[in-house]
A and B are shown apart, each in its own frame.
Chain A
Amino acid sequence: MHWGYVIVGWGIVFAGTAAYAAAIVQRGRRLSERVPEDRRRFLD
């Protein structure tokens, strides 16, 4: 009972988080290529 709501809710949270994480990593990779190595990190 109520499994439909559960699956949709968990699906939105997990898929949304994964999509956001993937978008950030991709953006980071794209930007890293355009910034000289010595200016890429605030802290390592």
Chain B
Amino acid sequence: MNRTTGSRLTRVLGISALVALGLTVLFGLVLSPPERDQRDAVRLMYVHLPTIAVAYIGFAITLGASVMYLYKGTLFWDLVAGAAAEIAVLFTAFLLVTGALWGKPTWGVYWQWDPRLTSTTVMFVMYLGYLALRRLELPPEVRSRRAAILGIVSFVNVIIVHFSVQWWRSLHQGRTLGVDTKLDGLMLFSLFIGTVAFLLVGAWLLIHRFRVAWLEDQLSRLSFERALAERRGEVGAGLAGEAG
């Protein structure tokens, strides 16, 4: 009898994520060298960049699941969209905080109204609005349809955030990784293992969050079914009384 949201899949994912996180700590904080200009502040990149990977993928899942919800109209896609958005919003918050902490020692300020930072903040606020919409007291189908539309529209922000450093003059650096990347081997590996670790964590969180959303939905359906059965019982008893 399973009284948790865990399963064999999540256990494998969870253990893999913990091992990868341990390696991230080892390589990111101990084995990788300080960078020439940023010194030890570069170590913030080993969590900063993985958080944007999780956030981007989370928002992309929300986009895909929202499209699928409008196409199929099934609860599954609605719940996937909501679960992915919540995790992506959390990791966007981590992204903003670690970015500010990196900015102070390297730029001299925690915050600048730079295109990348501003567009990321707008994206964060817009998806907070998406999560708020999902909690509105509306008929479930209406709420899910509106959330799906907002889930699709909001993805425009992700594209703006990604290309902001190319479209506008920005204090924020351009793309970190590409075919011409020149990074020390240990630094590159720390970035790689950090990204793998946080993607595994994101996948683990997504499955658990989806199952929680599923349970919440089942509970509200059960309450409705019980109330309906009680009402039918009362009506049945009333009719029997009248007939007698």
Known: A6-B44, A16-B90, A25-B5. A35 touches B215 (CB 8 A): yes
Interchain CB contact under 8 A, A12 and B209: no
- Interface of B, helix, strand, loop or mixed by DSSP: helix
Q: Is B208 an interface residue (CB 8 A)?
A: yes
Interchain CB contact under 8 A, A21 and B205: yes
Interchain CB contact under 8 A, B3 and A10: no
Interchain CB contact under 8 A, B39 and A1: yes
B1-28: which residues lie under 8 A (CB-CB) from chain A? 1-7, 21, 25, 28
Interchain CB contact under 8 A, B211 and A28: yes
State the Cβ distance, B22 to closest chain A Cβ, in Å: 11
For A3-44 the 0/1 string (1 means CB < 8 A from B) is: 101101110111011001100110111011111110111101
Q: Is B219 an interface residue (CB 8 A)?
A: yes
Interchain CB contact under 8 A, B101 and A9: yes
Interchain CB contact under 8 A, B4 and A37: no
Q: Hey, which chain B residues are within 8 Å of A21, CB to CB?
A: 201, 204-205, 208
Q: Which of A1, A24, A35 contacts B40 (CB 8 A)?
A: A1
Interchain CB contact under 8 A, A41 and B2: yes
CA distance A32 to B3 in the complex (A): 5
Interchain CB contact under 8 A, A2 and B105: yes
Q: Which of B4, B29, B34 contacts A32 (CB 8 A)?
A: B4
Measured CB to CB, the residues of B under 8 A from A are 1-7, 21, 25, 28-29, 34, 38-41, 43-44, 47-48, 51, 76, 90, 93-94, 97-98, 101-102, 104-105, 201, 204-205, 208-212, 214-216, 218-219, 222
- Report, nearest first, the 8 A-B pairs whose CB atoms are least far apart: A28-B5, A31-B215, A2-B41, A9-B101, A9-B98, A2-B40, A32-B3, A2-B105
